[in-house]
Amino acid sequence: MEVAVVGAGPAGLFCAVALARRGQRVTVVDRDGGPAADGSWDRRGVMQFHHPHGFRPQIGAAFQAEMPEVLDALTAAGAELVVFQGGNGLPAPPPGLRCRRAVFERVLRAFAEREPGVDLVRGHVDDVLRAGGRAAGLRVDGRELPAELVINASGRSARLAADLRGPADGGDCGLAYVSRQYSLLPGAELGPMNAPVGIIQTLSGYLVAVFLQDNRTFSALFIRPADDRRFSALRFDDAFQAAALAVPALAGWVTPDRSHPITPVLPGGRLHNTYRGQLDGNGGVGLPGLLHVGDTVCTTNPSAGRGIAVAMRQAVNLLLQLDEHPGDPEAAALAFDVWCTANVRPWYEDHVYWDADLLRRWDGGDVDVTRRLPSDLIMEATEADPSLWRVVGPYMAMEALPGSLDEVEPRVREIYASGWRAPAHPGPTRDELASVLADFGAR
């Protein structure tokens, strides 16, 4: 069967190689032509490309099942396999990865290019061809590319075939990313860590993180309310460095005797929480033979680093549905949609609720014990009652859906109702950090 995949991002390339290994002939079309001859890769249209990425064990598990050689190639490129703790408290057997997104995609793309049965083509997909009520291929820069099956893996800004699906739920999550990549100096030790990826801390009104990556590189990150204009100066290199040095969790990494910056500051665009199923407004398959996967289905605020894990899980299930419904892509789409509603949509809903409440608290609101507590507060409460880990651990590891937290939510509400609050991390409040930035002004 001829398969056309729109998008050579993680979801599209993974599906392409896996389908080729099932005997299909796959053409992947992307408007991006891959790394330039000098090795640089801007990846316009994928704004998160140079922002930090944590690669959860679900990603390693998908590769191990379908194309384990990718993990070897990633390690050879300098990615570190890191053993995360699973929800049961034991090491999770598939490894997570510490790796720059650009290194991850470079390796995956090169791997797909070498895969027999996969053809990578540069071009802009204008539309999905339709014939006899089924998908019949793609229109790429005005030319027709015939195919019997079309997989839309065109990412979070996808407008492709929008008329064939119901509208997306959700939108802007109200938070913004600003990050910068650094390299550890020869012999320098790592900075402070509190997570497999590095360090993640919520301070008063904002969040900071360090993501360790391949080849002794790391990214330092601020996540802040998108509409707080006082933070726009963070996009300047000197302002970012001053702000990072003002926050102990970041200062321990970016101090000049431990590391040096290897990129300018990378300001992020708006971050989204969205969900969009396979079906059209009438609840039917809009076009049999067209399936949507990855960020075209779900995006979540990246601060929990779930995006590619969710995308890979989708891809694995999509392959399963295609295996189980040979020659019947409409049945595969229906079954995939049911699975996504049950297993993907909850991660979107989790973040919508969490982010709205976090922004409210960052604006001075207290924990509201009169209604269901968001997941971040439930996770924090493990500091007050470690027995909560039995339920919280599998959720954090994405081995259990957000609904699993319902079991402990009443207990956690009791904890907060008694007046307990998580101890504050050392560092400036958002107002104090804004005054550090005020010195750098608008330019």
Binding site for ligand FAD (CB under 6 A): 6-12, 29-32, 45-46, 48, 51-54, 124-125, 153-156, 158, 160, 177, 268, 271, 294-295, 302, 305-309, 311
Q: Residues with Cβ < 8 Å from 75, sequence gap 6 or more?
A: 81
CB of 42 to ligand FAD, least distance (A): 11
- Give me the torsion for CA of 415, 417, 419, 423, rounded to 10°: 50
CB of 316 to ligand FAD, least distance (A): 14
395 residue type, one letter: Y
CB of 183 to ligand FAD, least distance (A): 19
CB of 123 to ligand FAD, least distance (A): 7
Contact criterion met (CB below 8 Å) for 403 and 346: yes
Q: Residues with Cβ < 8 Å from 47, sequence gap 6 or more?
A: 268, 269
Cα 228 from Cα 346, distance rounded (Å): 29
CB of 314 to ligand FAD, least distance (A): 9
CB of 154 to ligand FAD, least distance (A): 4
Q: Which is closer to ligand FAD, CB of 123 or CB of 374? A: 123
Q: Which is closer to ligand FAD, CB of 28 or CB of 149? A: 28
Cα 155 from Cα 11, distance rounded (Å): 9
Q: Which is closer to ligand FAD, CB of 156 or CB of 165? A: 156
β-sheet bridge partners, residue 298: 275
What 8-state DSSP symbol labels residue 346?
A: H
Q: Which is closer to ligand FAD, CB of 173 or CB of 254? A: 173
CB of 30 to ligand FAD, least distance (A): 4
What 8-state DSSP symbol labels residue 371?
A: S
Q: Which is closer to ligand FAD, CB of 6 or CB of 239? A: 6
Cα 435 from Cα 341, distance rounded (Å): 44
Q: Which is closer to ligand FAD, CB of 6 or CB of 378? A: 6
Q: Which is closer to ligand FAD, CB of 255 or CB of 343? A: 343
CB of 84 to ligand FAD, least distance (A): 13
Q: Which is closer to ligand FAD, CB of 98 or CB of 306? A: 306
Task: At 398, give phi and psi (nearest 5°).
Answer: 60, 25
Give one DSSP letter per residue of 19-72, joined into a string: HHTTT-EEEEEES---S-TTS----TT-TTTTS--EE-HHHHHHHHHH-THHHH
Give one DSSP letter per residue of 133-201, joined into a string: TEEEEEEETTEEEE-SEEEE---TT--TTGGGSPPPEEEEEEEEEEEEEEEEPTTPPP---SBTTEEEE
